[in-house]
């Protein structure tokens, strides 16, 4: 079985503007980079992930990470492009956000080990968003991504529409993203190392 982990780079200092009251732009940029490095390291360390790819603009990346072009139409379009590219080359595609400061290789291994023919979804701490999703291929070919408001319910509905089973993956590493100032306690060690 071949598993790809895709990290669409949506987190930028500008996209983390809700943190502006507590972190200046330089600190937000350093935090974004530190969180991305954590997610990349976790994906590379996952024993059952064969390929790690980043969707975004050119940047300094580990040699083993492939940079995919961003189609430029938002997160859902980027995930759909990755799904199209993985189809025929991978048996499972994991899309995981780059702003998970507590994520571990074991978290990603759980997503990669989802039962054959099932979609695995990692909801955010509120149970409304989707921080990671693991899709079986070719069964999930044409899956319609709905990252954004109420994405967890929308992704569950899409799995149902396609007739695919769903398993939920709950762990602090996958549920705790950083969007609001109160989320920063999860990234305390990254903030210290970035300063």
In total, how many domains does the chain have? 1
pTM of the model: 0.92
Distances (CA, A) of 135 to 13, 52, 100: 29, 15, 19
What pLDDT does 134 receive? 98
Instruction: Report, as an integer, the average pLDDT of 152-172.
Output: 96
Q: If you average pLDDT over residues 75-90, what whole number do you get?
A: 94
Cis before 138 (ω within 30):
yes
Specify the CATH number for the domain of residue 110.
Answer: 3.90.550.10
Q: Print the domain residue range for 93.
A: 3-194
* Predicted pLDDT of residue 6: 96
CA dist 143 and 126 (Å) reads: 24
Using pLDDT thresholds of 50, 70 and 90, give the confidence band for residue 120. very high
Q: What is the pLDDT of residues 184-195, one digit of tens each?
A: 888 888 877 765
């Amino acid at each position: 079985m071949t598993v790809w982990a895709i990290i669409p780079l949506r987190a930028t200092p500008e996209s983390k503007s809700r943190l502006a009251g507590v972190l200046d732009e330089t600190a937000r940029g350093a935090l974004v980079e530190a969180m991305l490095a954590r997610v990349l390291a976790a994906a590379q360390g996952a024993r059952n992930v064969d390929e790690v790819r980043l969707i975004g603009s050119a940047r300094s990346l580990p040699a083993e990470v492939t940079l995919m072009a961003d189609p430029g139409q938002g997160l859902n379009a980027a995930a759909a492009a990755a799904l199209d590219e993985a189809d025929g080359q991978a048996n499972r595609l994991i899309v995981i956000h780059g702003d998970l400061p507590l994520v571990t290789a074991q978290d990603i291994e759980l997503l990669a080990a989802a039962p054959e023919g099932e979609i695995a979804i990692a909801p955010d701490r509120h149970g409304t968003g989707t921080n990671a999703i693991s899709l079986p291929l070719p069964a999930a070919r044409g899956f319609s991504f709905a990252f954004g408001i109420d994405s967890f319910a929308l992704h569950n509905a899409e799995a149902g529409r396609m007739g695919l089973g769903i398993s939920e993956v709950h762990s602090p590493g996958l549920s705790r993203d950083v969007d609001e100032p109160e989320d920063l306690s999860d990234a305390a060690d990254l903030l210290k190392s970035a300063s």
